[in-house]
A = this chain, B = another copy of it.
Amino acid sequence: MIIVMQARATEADVEYVSRRIEELGLTPHVSRGTERILIGVIGDERLVNRDQLTLLPHVEEVIPILKPYKLASREFQPADSIVSVAGVPIGGNEVVVIAGPCSVEDEEQIVTAAIAVKAAGARLLRGGAYKPRTSPYVFQGLGEEGLKLLARAREKTGLGIVTEVMESSEVDVVAEYADLLQVGARNMQNTKLLRSLSKIDKPVLLKRGPAATLNEFLMSAEYLLSGGNHRVILCERGIRTFVEYTRNTLDLNVVPAVKQLSHLPIIVDPSHGTGRHDLVVPMSRAAIAAGADGLLVEVHPAPEKALSDGEQSLKPAAFADLMREVRCIAPAVGRSVASPAATASGRESARTV
């Protein structure tokens, strides 16, 4: 941390601030510039409440030097983490595609979807049982019944299942069924939920909030990691901007940015990220080209009858086209996409968790 003193700060002010830094168990280091005096703070700044320094007399600004997260950082763990979900490694050489409907609606729908996405090459099945919806007047998901139907689809296809959990009281029931528990974008900073999920023995898919900075995104991952759950997969799904032609602005820049700062795998959801089925294919290609470890794609047997998110869902045939395109792009970045029956293995240097 660097403390910038105001131009009018006196030596007495500098001494006062220095003493306060010492009282907090840290060491001050004064540097006198031509226009400002700076005080470097030596020690682990993550343990200090920044405001306790900002508000001291004649302090102009307090600038953090270290990233606020530790366990999520690549500095802490240089090798890529590979997270295994129902036997499918995410974060290794293989680009993993997760697909399925926004909501589980009935057995026929979810089983049909599961068979279709498996046939096209998806490795895991997604489907929502607990649905956070903007409007109280629309379908809110089947709840535990939906989880059972997902389990049914898993039995029939062998695909591991990915589904959202909305609050800590439901973690146990969702964990009983799911292979990968999803934290939705609206819940990225639901710290109670994150704490509960940090205690379970199942991997977690953490979606980025629509207004989350990268620091905030990785700090939410840090809740999971610091609580003891190291099986964390990040997911970019669009941020909120002024742009009018997409529901959200899928921000692919975050993919290489995460790869530099963190060892965690990151996948991309082009369906929520754009809100438009006709942009899903090009943005899926782009996500993989940017370095994403996988995709999360909405596929519905009959999108025009879907109870939620039809506009951004692909029909099975369009999803098969997407998989064909993905199979062209992945090798161009040195990655593979498994054919349905294949088993993938991780990178040599990586650490499977």
Contacts and interface: CB of A to CB of B under 8 A. Distances in A.
A133 B51 contact: no
Contacts of A68: 134-135
A173 interface: no
Contacts of A134: 68, 189, 215-216, 219
- Prevailing SS type, chain A contact patch: mixed
A190 B169 CA distance: 13
B136 A227 contact: yes
Interface residues of A, number: 110
A353 interface: no
Given A51-B311, A289-B329, A329-B329, A243 B252 contact: no
- When all copies of this chain in the complex are counted, the total is 4
A288 to B, nearest CB: 7
Nearest to A288: B289
Interface in A176-208: 186-187, 189-195
Contact of A239 (B35, B63, B194, B241): B241
A52 B35 CA distance: 21
B191 A132 contact: yes
A285 B289 contact: yes
A49 B51 CA distance: 31
A47 to B, nearest CB: 7
Contacts of A190: 132, 166-167, 186-187, 190
Interface in A215-239: 215-216, 219, 222-223, 226-227, 239
12 contacts: A33-B43, A49-B306, A51-B304, A63-B63, A136-B195, A137-B226, A167-B193, A187-B190, A211-B240, A213-B243, A239-B242, A331-B332
Closest CB pairs A-B (n = 9): A51-B310, A289-B289, A211-B211, A55-B304, A286-B290, A285-B289, A211-B240, A256-B282, A286-B286
Interface of A: 2, 4, 7, 29, 31-36, 38, 40-44, 46-47, 49-52, 54-56, 63, 65-66, 68, 75, 132-138, 140, 166-169, 186-187, 189-195, 209-211, 213-216, 219, 222-223, 226-227, 239-246, 249-257, 260, 273-274, 277-279, 282-283, 285-291, 303-311, 325, 328-329, 331-333
Given A4-B65, A250-B252, 4 more contacts: A68-B135, A209-B211, A213-B244, A256-B283
